[in-house]
Structure 1
Amino acid sequence: MALLGVVGLAAVVLSQRVPDVVDEIRLPLRHEDIIRQQAREKGLDPSLIAAVIYAESRFRDNQVSHAGAEGLMQITPDTARDIARQSGATSFELSDLHTPQVNIAYGSWRLRHMLERFDGSVPLALAGYNAGPENAQRWLNEARGRGASFRLRDITFPETRNYVAKVLSARRDYRATYPKQLGLD
């Protein structure tokens, strides 16, 4: 009878944790404290930061892309040097890009800068974050030249168009799945 009670208790505990484990595998979240801090400091939606990290690295700190972008938010060394200079950082080493605090701070700074450049348009800011602001500006100008509003289909790079869609979808998922962890409730 005691064994049955232990098995029953284990089943209850596991059934309560299985959804959490499934969420963590499907939609990982780490460094919530840094994400919340950077969102507050830079006036960003924490679910947007988490979604960018998810799309860029799936929360793997030491990720390096084929283009040389590094860390959680996949920042290239040249972009990192520009951010360090423009944000007033007193010192910067490339190895800092593998430090979650620095990488998320720099990526959030870049995201804030893109949002300001594109008048708060999240899709354009994400396109600029991924493909460079010059490309995003060109896509916006082409849409305006046709007398139309910018739409995702205006992004001529399939990889960037898919990236923006992926981040927007992940943002919704993070808001729904982790509101407490991201400080949204």
Structure 2
Amino acid sequence: MDKKRLQRWTSGRKICMLILLAILTAYCIMKIPVLEKIIYPYPHRDIIEKYADQYGVDPLFVVAVIREESKFLPQSESHKGAIGLMQLMPSTAKSISESIGDKTYSDNDLLSPEKNIQYGTWYLASLQKVFSNNTTLVIAAYNGGRGHVQEWIETGQIDPKNIRQQDIPFKETRDYVDRVLKSYQKYITLYHN
């Protein structure tokens, strides 16, 4: 590459970096909702709202869980074997299919946004019933397991009436609860009508 072409390329690259820096600065200073919606998108909105309405869950809560579970990548699979947008374990999904009478379920269905969101939303609704709509406990149970959260309550490690995130025994679950709650608040700010 000759010297003039290299200078033009370098100059163009600097201009792109300055534009990106200006956009990020504007976002940080003004919290422009359009820019924030890029960082907090709402894909699969129709599906989310359909099942959220059917099962009585706030759709903005569902989208916050999806954002933190899979970053909206339907083919996601965790190192523990959780699959899809809402990162459901196949054993959990099988149990959900039996609970809702879905005789056609197979593990491959977890890669389908429709089925994954349906099952994940149903599961959130079931956790809301178990934990009396305590959002922090629901999120902790979604990540750390219903049995663990019930054990923490029974052994006095956490007080369900005065739950503090720092009381959650599993660091991974504590961090997860924090991320989902922050995303949930951001979704409420950006999308609540």
What is the TM-score with the length of structure 1 in the denominator?
Answer: 0.81
CA-CA distance at 1:86 after TM superposition: 1.1
- Could you say what secondary structure the match of 1:172 adopts? helix
**In the alignment, what sits opposite 2:119?**
106
For 2:160 and 2:83, how far apart are their aligned partners in 1?
A: 38
> Sequence identity of aligned pairs in percent?
37
Structure-2 residue corresponding to 1:3:
none
Alignment check: 8 A CA contact 1:62 1:72 kept: yes
Check 1:147–1:30 CA distance in 2 against 1; reply closer, same or farther (3 A cut): closer
The aligned counterpart of 2:15 is none
Match of 1:84 in 2: 97
Aligned length: 164
Aligned counterpart in structure 2 of residue 122 of structure 1, from 129, 135, 144: 135
In 1: Cα distance, 2:47 partner to 2:158 partner? 41
Partner in structure 2 of residue 139 of structure 1: 152
TM-score, normalization by structure 2: 0.78
- 1:151 deviates by 2.1
Q: 1:95 to 1:20 in 2, by over 3 A?
A: farther
Distance 1:166 1:91, change over 3 A: same
Who is 2:167 aligned against? Answer: 154
- Choose from 55, 60, 65 the match for 1:42: 55
3-state SS of 2:124 partner: helix
Match for residue 28 of structure 1?
41
Report what 1:182 is aligned to. none
Q: What are the ranges of 5 or more consecutive residues in structure 1 without an aligned counterpart?
A: 1-14, 180-184
| CA root-mean-square deviation | 2.3
State whether residues 38 and 104 of structure 1, in contact with CA within 8 Å, keep that contact through their aligned partners in structure 2.
yes
- In 1: Cα distance, 2:159 partner to 2:174 partner: 19
Give the one of 56, 59, 83 matched to 1:70: 83
